[in-house]
C-alpha cells in the first residue's frame, strides 16, 4: 500500500468513524499532503522509513518558512494521529511522532541549544582538574556524536578510535553504530586520557572511558547532575537536559546542510549494514558529512 493510499485510508477513518467536521478534515488532509511531499523530496517512498528524525526535520523546515508555532502544533497533532492510526492498523510497530514535543508560542522547535550556548557549555568545566577534564570530554563527545546519555556512559576505551576519529556506540536493542567525532572532541578526550582519567583511577583498572573518583563508570544521574551544574554556571535560563544536546547535534547538522539519511544513521535511527565493505563506505561518508557540517567538526 502506497503512502497516498495510507493517507486516504486515514482520512476516510476520520470521516466515517470519527465524524470530524469538514474544516478539520480539510486541515488534516492539507497537513498530510505537505508531509508526503516532504518525504518524497527526501527520497522516502515507504512510510516505515520515516522516523522521529524525519518528522523533526519536517517541522524545522515548516518553522524556517515562517509557519507559526500554533500551526506547527496542529501539524504535529495531524502526524501523531496519522501514525497512531498506522500503529493500530498494524502497519507500524511504534509511533515516531509521539516522541516530538508540541511547539508552543514563543518557543523554538525543537528544544535545542544555540551554537553560542553550546560553545559556552563546552568551555564551562575546569581543565585544571581531573573531573573538569572528564566532564569536558563527556560534554564534547555527547554533542559531537549525538549520543543518548545511556550510550555515553557505556562507552569503553576499546570503543573510541581517536586516530580515525570514530566512536563505536552501543544503542537501543544492543545495536551498534559507528559515529564520527570532530577535532574538538578528539582534543578534549586526548587531554582527559592523558591526565584526567589516570588521576581519577590512581592505578585501578576500568574498561569504561568515563569514570568517577571511585573508579566506577559514570551513571545517568551523575551526568544529569554535572550537566545542570554547568548550565547554571554559564547562566542558561531555559531547562537543559542530556537529550537537548542530542537534539542540538541533529538540528545543527540539518540546519548546516547535512543530508537527512546521514544524520539518521549517526543518531542510530536506521539499520547499518553488517557487511564490512558497506560499513567502510558508510563510515567514510559519515565522516565527510560530520567534518563538513558539524559546528565543531
pLDDT digits (tens, 9 = 90+) for 251-281: 888 777 777 777 777 887 643 322 222 233 3
Catalytic residue among 154, 186, 269, 287: 269
**What is the distance between the terminal CA atoms of the chain, rounded to a whole angstrom?**
41
Catalytic residue among 246, 247, 294, 296: 246
Q: Which three cell numbers stand for residue 134?
A: 572528564
Averaged pLDDT, 168-177? 84
Cis-peptide, bond into residue 102, ω within 30° of zero: no
**pLDDT tens, 187-229?**
999 999 999 999 999 999 999 999 999 999 999 999 999 999 9
Residue 243 known to be catalytic: yes
Share of the chain above pLDDT 90, in %: 51
Residue 104 known to be catalytic: no
Residue 83 known to be catalytic: no
> Given 3-state DSSP classes, what are the helix, strand and coil percentages for the chain, each rounded to the nearest 5?
60, 5, 30
Residue of 6, 15, 166, 143 whose CA lies nearest to 86: 6
**What residues does each domain of the chain span?**
3-99, 115-293
What are the φ and ψ backbone dihedral angles of 81, each rounded to 5 degrees?
A: -65, -40
166-170 β-sheet, strand order: 160-161, 166-170, 176-180
Average pLDDT, the chain: 84
| Extended beta strands in 44-165, E state | 160-161
Residue 172 known to be catalytic: yes
What are the φ and ψ backbone dihedral angles of 176, each rounded to 5 degrees?
A: -95, 145
CATH 3.40.50.300 fits 3-99, yes or no: no
Residue 278 known to be catalytic: yes
Residues 6+ apart with CB under 8 A from 269: 51, 52, 53
250 forms beta bridges with: none
CATH 2.60.420.10 fits 115-293, yes or no: no
Catalytic residue among 129, 243, 280, 292: 243
**pLDDT tens, 63-113?**
888 888 888 888 888 999 999 999 999 999 888 887 776 655 444 444 678
Catalytic residue among 18, 70, 172, 220: 172
| pLDDT for the residue numbered 40 | 93
Catalytic residue among 18, 129, 204, 278: 278
Judge if pTM exceeds 0.95.
no
Residue 280 known to be catalytic: no
| pLDDT for the residue numbered 29 | 93
Catalytic residue among 75, 134, 148, 290: 148
Distance CA 285, CA 106 (A): 37
Amino acid at each position: 500500500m502506497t503512502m497516498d493510499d495510507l493517507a486516504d485510508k486515514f482520512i476516510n477513518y476520520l470521516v466515517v468513524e470519527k465524524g470530524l467536521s469538514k474544516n478539520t478534515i480539510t486541515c488534516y488532509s492539507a497537513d498530510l499532503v505537505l508531509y508526503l511531499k516532504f518525504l518524497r523530496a527526501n527520497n522516502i517512498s515507504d512510510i516505515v522509513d520515516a522516523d522521529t528524525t524525519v518528522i523533526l526535520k519536517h517541522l524545522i523546515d515548516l518553522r524556517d518558512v515562517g509557519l507559526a508555532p500554533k500551526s506547527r502544533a496542529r501539524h504535529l497533532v495531524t502526524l501523531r494521529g496519522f501514525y497512531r492510526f498506522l500503529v493500530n492498523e498494524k502497519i507500524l510497530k511504534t509511533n515516531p511522532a509521539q516522541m516530538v514535543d508540541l511547539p508552543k508560542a514563543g518557543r523554538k522547535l525543537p528544544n535545542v541549544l544555540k551554537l553560542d550556548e553550546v560553545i559556552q557549555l563546552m568551555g564551562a568545566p575546569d581543565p585544571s582538574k581531573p573531573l573538569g577534564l572528564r566532564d569536558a570530554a563527556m560534554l564534547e563527545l555527547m554533542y559531537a556524536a549525538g549520543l543518548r546519555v545511556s550510550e555515553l556512559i557505556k562507552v569503553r576505551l576499546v570503543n573510541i578510535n581517536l586516530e580515525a576519529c570514530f566512536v563505536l556506540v552501543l544503542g537501543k536493542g544492543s545495536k551498534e553504530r559507528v559515529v564520527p567525532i570532530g577535532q574538538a572532541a578528539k582534543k578534549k578526550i586526548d587531554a582527559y586520557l592523558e591526565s584526567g582519567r589516570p588521576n581519577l583511577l590512581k592505578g585501578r583498572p576500568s574498561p569504561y572511558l568515563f569514570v568517577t573518583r571511585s573508579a566506577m563508570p559514570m551513571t545517568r544521574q551523575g551526568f544529569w547532575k554535572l550537566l545542570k551544574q554547568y548550565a547554571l554556571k554559564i547562566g542558561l535560563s531555559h531547562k537543559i537536559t542530556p537529550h537537548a544536546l542530542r537534539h542540538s547535534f541533529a538540528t545543527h547538522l540539518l540546519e548546516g546542510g547535512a543530508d537527512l539519511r546521514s544524520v539518521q544513521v549517526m543518531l542510530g535511527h536506521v539499520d547499518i549494514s553488517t557487511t564490512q565493505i558497506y560499513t567502510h563506505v558508510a563510515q567514510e561518508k559519515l565522516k565527510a558529512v560530520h567534518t563538513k557540517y558539524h559546528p565543531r567538526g
